[in-house]
Structure 1
């Protein structure tokens, strides 16, 4: 599972760079980032529940800043 998340992160990083460079639109960047955000949030919720804490959720908007 870690390998899949790493691949999603690489795609998200690439989409972020392309968006910041003006090569793709925001909608296209969000479509590329969304799978990573969902996987990250699921893992965050899982770990937070395990340790009795609040999850630190991933926001696409803040990621694109």
Structure 2
């Protein structure tokens, strides 16, 4: 992923810009409020539960496509 500089820059921007809107004075212009630690905990919990399921599905789909070829 890091070999593609444009993709790495796009990923960095897609992470940085929303955080900048939430945690800088820009929040007044966009009408947002910073996330509480409990909100980040919920996000982390959902990610921790969904990511392994997503990876398991990807492995399953790949293994089925390999068998067909």
Q: TM-score, normalised by structure 2?
A: 0.36
Higher relative contact order (CA 8 A, sep 6+): 1
Q: TM-score, normalised by structure 1?
A: 0.38
